[in-house]
Amino acid sequence: MAEQITLRVTINGTDVNPYHKLGLKQNPLPQLGKAEYDYICQKLNLLEATPMKSKEELRAWLKKEGCHDGQFVDLCLQHYERGKRTRFYISFPA
């Protein structure tokens, strides 16, 4: 059976970046610690930190950051809740 990679996706529907109080822009810790996934983990950490005021703002942010996978964008939009930080997980073959 093929190895699976699972990543945490957190959508920040609040008005604040929770890492600013720590003097950080985003979570500095990688999810996997594997070089080949550093880029996506950094983007997911930035997504977790960036306040999104609406689904439209979330969609535009994902596009600006280079996310063109329609399924992932749709998942993010489904999990978005204004005023809350929501979390879900994605898995894919390693």
> What pLDDT, on the 0 to 100 scale, is given for residue 92?
86
Its domain, for residue 54, covers 4-93
Per-residue confidence at 1, pLDDT binned at 50, 70, 90? low
Count of structural domains within the chain:
1
Q: Average pLDDT of 65-80?
A: 94
Q: Average pLDDT of 56-82?
A: 95
> Nearest Cα to 74, choosing from 50, 55, 92?
55
Tokens of 87: 């979390």
Specify burial of residue 63 (Cβ count, 10 A radius: 0-12, 13-18, 19+): exposed
CA 7 to chain centre: 9
Answer whether 50's CB lies under 8 Å from 29's CB.
no
pLDDT digits (tens, 9 = 90+) for 6-60: 999 999 999 999 999 999 999 888 787 778 888 888 999 999 999 999 999 999 9
Query: pTM for this one?
Result: 0.87
